[in-house]
């Protein structure tokens, strides 16, 4: 269900209903809460952030004294050394800072771990360096763009969205409502003079690209081929549909999911044979918390384009969110057959198989 936004693609979110911000402001902090932990855990957690960040062990839990910048820093530092001191401890720390609304979709921790190991979010684990944009704060909402760079120099961009909790156990604590993957499209997307392909030319081009994708030798080659496939999927062949798609994608990027659904309703009515219209509406339904209608639109997408690895991966994420591990495994195995070298996908499939007690083939 990945979807491009002009030159950028906004993918699946780890929480439903995140509203991006636009202005900057600063808010105060309330009285600190006390959380008890053992001395051993404190020592291990202190090592986790030393010397990268000057936080003590208490800072690895939500605390009203922590600023939004510090909350993001703590999560990134933990994910950067995800398996210190124990496997997936970094993801556990990130989960502690997931807001109650976030956890309604991503809990329990085991499910959250599976989601983060999804290829969309796997680049957050054990990354090499990061670049961060300004923290935008408006009232009790905040967001920050983060670019994570792996050891090969490849970059992956994410948008952290946070809110200050109004009540309950974490009152006045800044916590993460969601993390959205932002991904750069291929350079070919910048070519506005590229001629429109006929339906047959588009089908032939896709068939060639999928054949190459299946035998790709590296992750880099896989990502290049997938970007070209996404570009072709976005070509409706009609100017009026292209305008509507741009509008719907813009509404999604602003968090206006209901408005986006209205726009994509028009797309699916005017061009019911255009698979990407159904896929974009599936994404909007997903982000709006409507898994049932999202799955219906994924089904329609796959009826029109059975090879749609974006829709298939989206189906896997829905199955994980609702606790259907077997369904998620089937979806990701299908995606793996289409794209054997996709980053993190084989590892995710292996983890799901182990969870179900299925021996490797």
Distance CA 44, CA 70 (A): 19
- Using alpha carbons, list the distances in angstroms from residue 180 to 80, 99, 216, 323: 18, 15, 27, 21
pLDDT in tens, 174-188: 999 888 776 543 333
Closest CA to 180 of 104, 77, 264, 254: 254
On the CB side of 7, CA atoms within 13 Å amount to: 5
Closest CA to 321 of 116, 143, 18, 119: 116
What is the CATH code for 196-356?
1.25.40.10
Beta bridge partners, 137, equal 142
Q: Do 285 and 252 touch, CB atoms closer than 8 A?
A: no
Closest CA to 315 of 292, 331, 339: 331
Distance CA 179, CA 156 (A): 12
DSSP state of 98: B
Distance CA 333, CA 310 (A): 13
pLDDT in tens, 65-102: 999 999 999 999 999 999 999 999 999 999 999 999 88
Q: What's the pLDDT band for 251 if we cut at 50, 70, 90?
A: confident
Distance CA 51, CA 203 (A): 53
Residue-level length of the chain: 361
Nearby residues of 269 by Cβ (< 8 Å), 6 or more positions away: none
SS3 32: coil
pLDDT in tens, 124-166: 999 999 999 889 898 898 988 899 998 888 888 888 989 999 9
Domain coordinates in residue numbering, the chain = 3-184, 196-356
Q: What is the pTM of this model?
A: 0.56
Alpha helices in the chain (DSSP H): 39-49, 68-80, 89-96, 100-106, 109-116, 199-214, 219-233, 239-253, 257-270, 275-287, 291-304, 309-321, 325-338, 345-356
Q: Do 139 and 17 touch, CB atoms closer than 8 A?
A: no
- Enclosing H/E stretch for 141: strand 141-149
Cβ-based neighbour number of residue 273 at 10 Å = 11
Share of the chain above pLDDT 70, in %: 79
Question: Look-up: residue for tokens 């051993």?
Answer: 40
pLDDT in tens, 194-234: 567 788 888 889 999 999 999 988 888 888 899 889 989 99
Q: Which residue would you say has higher pLDDT here, 20 or 321?
A: 321
**pLDDT of res. 1:** 61
Least confident of 291-295, 319-323, 332-336: 319-323
Averaged pLDDT of the chain: 80
């Amino acid at each position: 269900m990945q979807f491009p936004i002009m030159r950028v693609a906004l993918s699946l979110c780890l929480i439903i209903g995140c509203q991006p911000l636009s202005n900057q402001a600063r808010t105060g902090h309330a009285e600190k809460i006390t959380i008890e932990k053992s001395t051993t855990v404190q020592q291990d957690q202190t090592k986790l952030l030393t010397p990268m960040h000057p936080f003590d062990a208490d800072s690895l839990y939500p605390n009203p004294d922590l600023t939004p910048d510090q909350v993001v820093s703590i999560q990134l530092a933990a994910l950067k050394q995800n398996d210190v001191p124990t496997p997936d401890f970094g993801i556990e720390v990130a989960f502690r800072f997931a807001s109650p609304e976030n956890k309604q979709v991503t809990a329990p921790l085991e499910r959250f771990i599976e989601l983060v190991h999804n290829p969309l979010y796997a680049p957050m684990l054990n990354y090499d360096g990061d670049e961060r944009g300004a923290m935008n704060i408006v009232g009790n909402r905040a967001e920050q763009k983060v670019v994570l760079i792996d050891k090969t120099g490849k970059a992956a961009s994410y948008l952290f969205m946070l809110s200050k909790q109004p009540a309950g156990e974490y009152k006045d604590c800044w916590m993460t409502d969601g993390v959205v993957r932002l991904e750069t499209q291929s350079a070919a997307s910048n070519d506005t003079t590229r001629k429109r392909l006929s339906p047959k030319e588009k089908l032939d081009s896709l068939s060639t690209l999928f054949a190459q994708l299946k035998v790709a030798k590296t992750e880099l080659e896989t990502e290049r081929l997938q970007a070209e496939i996404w570009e072709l999927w976005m070509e409706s062949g009609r100017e009026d549909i292209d305008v509507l798609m741009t509008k719907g994608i813009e509404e999604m990027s602003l968090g206006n999911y209901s408005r986006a659904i209205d726009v994509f309703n028009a797309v699916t009515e005017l061009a019911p044979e255009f698979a990407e219209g159904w896929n974009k509406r599936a994404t909007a339904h997903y982000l709006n918390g409507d898994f049932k209608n999202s799955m219906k639109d994924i089904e329609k997408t796959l009826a029109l384009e059975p090879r749609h690895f974006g829709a298939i991966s989206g189906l896997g994420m829905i199955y994980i969110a609702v606790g259907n591990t077997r369904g998620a495994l089937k979806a990701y195995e299908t995606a793996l057959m289409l794209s054997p070298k996709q980053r993190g996908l084989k590892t995710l499939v292996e983890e799901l198989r182990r969870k179900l007690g299925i021996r490797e083939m």
